[in-house]
Structure 1
């Protein structure tokens, strides 16, 4: 019984901190995931009897847990994006998805194959899991809420929010690619046409359509039900229900659920007949759930690091992680945005640099191991991914608040100048 009470006290302490963590994070200019991982270190060192990974998580449990956090975060990302962002604004995230992401994957593949000396399927899997910008750990650099567009036209926040929403689903075909190449035993026996038409095109299209239809359909239903019965069902809990329903239906209909969830939130956000206050309520509810799950995940992740996960690979993993976070992603981002005239060089550099990796990568890794148990270097892949996440949390944890704060102050000064000129 004593262990039971220690677990409750430890979890209560950790989740209690989340009440003040966002404010503390802004005050000390350090992102919340960095603070949470330090709390995880402390709880592990204090020998709190939580179910710490030893040092790896069970593939199935890790997949389901990380899957839940990611889809909730994707719904939140969709609800954050407001209607003032036109098609020209979407050019930046689309460039990041269709240019930056492939460049990052190609670099990760060749570094994995020739520097880390991984097999071809393992190198492909490494490239796929490192492709997406994480919608969970990157929450501190994304749009705050659906009303933020009224006060702050954040090019950087919008680009990172929409990129995270899009590429977390776009990475799925390449995880399938790694699995299918591994199952085939190499490139020679790999069925390219099946992968291209089914896993790349069909599942993406179905996922997007399902998300748009459900999001718009729920918007219509909310209004129609109120008009016909006079009953208001405007409860923030709907956002969570919509998340699980959309994800499950999309997967059953052979679509990518990650994309469906993001587009469902986006479609509902664009449906103007649903009041802005209710959109705010849905966003706030889903955001609170996301923060709660994030606390548990990062604390357990921190414990797994101290419990020996990082020792499952060698020094090359550290070098690889530093190269990927500090050079590959920023350079790939700058290449994608090089022709843009609407952003300054500093804005392009900020968008390129803040490509945070996190829980989405862990989901794809555990998912692939559940699909195919023949991957070599399983322990090494988990450890390399852990290094990437840890280094991303540390580097972006210190730099992201300062970068976002700089552009916020710059925007506020420009607004004040415009107001003075108008007066």
Structure 2
């Protein structure tokens, strides 16, 4: 039986109801909600018209849905972090970003080349799988901003902080590597242009727009001259969504990296006035929106799997996915965190929980047109890797974090 257009409203309603109930039902078990949503999506794929629900058939819809989900999640994680950004306080984050991530891309590219994959395709796959996900990693991230009297306390769990801050920044920092793969594939690579513009220029624009917009909105929200003009007094949490879309759109118009800008803007707004309870209201609103978008992405991914997304998967694709999730990220993360203040257990947990997900879907949907011959295989490998990551990390997250909390 195939569900028609009217029946989709029923499916959407049931999916949202499921999304509201599942996290509570699974809270005590080693099964995360993303695993359940993937499973439901696969079952749903048996009852709906799958021809128009493929990321290959609808790359534009896939790109924009994943894009919106990621920027909403980036605003959420930026608002959730209490720790002011600095070289010293974020030292674990910098190690993961500037050592583990580039080394992981190089290792995965080399592995792909040894498996017989074209260099540009291997680099693209390694680059789109490089960012850890701010969307699907909620079980191992900080829970939300501390406000009121609690805002003075610096008790953020180091593992949760490291994974949250890393996921907030590496979505945008993977972009230069993705563009590098595209330039090589299209034979338009210029080392000077790529280094000056795609690596440095767009990053600077993203940071500048994010900081400027966050500072301005922070003043408008908490420090406007007249109390009636302060946005915090309106108690309208939709400001978080307006800021997300506005900052991202402005940065993209200026040809900067919007993912970086949104996260930096959220951090800057958070630092404008840490004790105000409006921060929690903004975070709660954006969190609910993020959950809805995440459910949609996971359901559609499950439908796509039922429709044959994994059909072109080869042993080389399986090998790359397993290497990334089980070997490359944990090993390189462990090495990058050498001689830091984390305990041995915390170091392993931080290295292992590099969840892959929606940001990778966005990058492949945005650049896949340049790799038409390999596109089905790329989607199959990406789908396999995301599912493997969601399942393994989803099962391990609850017991591992409880173990660390008991030891802490």
Q: Distance in 1 between matches of 2:362 and 2:160?
A: 24
Cα distance change of structure 1 residues 222 and 378 upon mapping to structure 2, 3 Å threshold: same
Q: Distance in 1 between matches of 2:8 and 2:66?
A: 21
Instruction: Report deviation, 1:211.
Output: 0.4
Cα distance change of structure 1 residues 344 and 224 upon mapping to structure 2, 3 Å threshold: closer
Equivalenced residue count is 401
Cα distance change of structure 1 residues 257 and 308 upon mapping to structure 2, 3 Å threshold: same
**Does residue 1:122 correspond to 2:135, yes or no?**
no
Q: Distance in 1 between matches of 2:287 and 2:205?
A: 26
Q: Distance in 2 between matches of 1:74 and 1:179?
A: 25
The secondary structure found in structure 2 opposite 1:146 is coil
**Does residue 1:330 correspond to 2:330, yes or no?**
yes
Within-5 A mapping of 1:234-273: 234-272=235-273
The answer to whether the 8 Å contact 1:6/1:48 transfers is no
Specify which of 145, 148, 155 is matched with residue 158 of structure 2. 155
Q: Output the TM-score relative to the length of structure 1.
A: 0.90
Specify which of 388, 391, 401 is matched with residue 388 of structure 2. 391
Partner of 1:416: none
Cα distance change of structure 1 residues 279 and 55 upon mapping to structure 2, 3 Å threshold: closer
The secondary structure found in structure 2 opposite 1:18 is helix
The answer to whether the 8 Å contact 1:122/1:376 transfers is no
**Does residue 1:137 correspond to 2:136, yes or no?**
yes
Partner of 1:308: 308
Partner of 1:81: 81
Q: Mind listing any 5+ residue stretches in structure 2 that lack a counterpart?
A: none
Instruction: Report deviation, 1:375.
Output: 4.9
The answer to whether the 8 Å contact 2:41/2:299 transfers is yes
Partner of 2:24: 23
Q: Distance in 2 between matches of 1:57 and 1:193?
A: 36
The answer to whether the 8 Å contact 1:156/1:350 transfers is yes
**Does residue 1:182 correspond to 2:181, yes or no?**
no
Partner of 1:345: 344
Name the stretch that deviates more: 160-169 or 174-183: 174-183
Q: Distance in 2 between matches of 1:343 and 1:252?
A: 40
1:122-148 Cα distance to aligned partner (Å, 9 max, x none)? 111111101100111112211111128
The answer to whether the 8 Å contact 2:50/2:303 transfers is no
Q: Output the TM-score relative to the length of structure 2.
A: 0.93
Partner of 2:195: 196
The secondary structure found in structure 2 opposite 1:26 is coil
Name the stretch that deviates more: 376-385 or 225-234: 225-234
Partner of 1:70: 70
Partner of 2:319: 319
Name the stretch that deviates more: 299-308 or 86-95: 86-95
Cα distance change of structure 1 residues 230 and 99 upon mapping to structure 2, 3 Å threshold: closer
The answer to whether the 8 Å contact 1:52/1:303 transfers is no
Q: Alpha carbon RMSD of aligned pairs, Å? A: 2.1
Q: Mind listing any 5+ residue stretches in structure 1 that lack a counterpart?
A: 412-423
Cα distance change of structure 1 residues 125 and 378 upon mapping to structure 2, 3 Å threshold: same
Partner of 1:53: 53
1:284-304 Cα distance to aligned partner (Å, 9 max, x none)? 000000100111110110111
Cα distance change of structure 1 residues 49 and 366 upon mapping to structure 2, 3 Å threshold: closer
